[in-house]
Amino acid sequence: MNILLETVIVDEKIMNTDLSPHLHTQDCNQLIDELKKCHEENKFAKFIGACNGFNSSVAKCLKQEHKARSAANRAKARKRKANQTS
């Protein structure tokens, strides 16, 4: 199985994000598909910024997913901690 890793810039940090569909929301998967399509259609132009708009959209979507996951994990941890101290 070949997993595509895309370099995504989030908050000025470069990170490689796994773009497997089961890891993301339907909205982000649609943006990821558009980015992949742009890369396929613009084999060389992608290197001079032809797909930058799609890449920015994907990065923003992935950042929102990350924030949502982090908030859910913090809430879960608070609940677990409250149950332990009771």
Q: Percent of the chain scored above 70 by pLDDT?
A: 80
For range 57-79, the mean pLDDT: 94
Encoded tokens for 41: 């259609």
Q: Is the pLDDT of residue 86 over 80?
A: no
Alpha-carbon radius of gyration of the chain? 17
- Higher-confidence residue of 45 and 10: namely 45
pLDDT at position 15 is 58
Encoded tokens for 85: 């101290």
- What is the domain partition of the chain in residue ranges? 24-85
Q: Is the pLDDT of residue 23 over 70?
A: yes
Q: By three-state DSSP, how is residue 43 classified?
A: coil
What does pLDDT average to over the chain? 84
Q: In 9-51, where does DSSP find H-type helix? A: 26-41
CA distance 74 to 59: 22
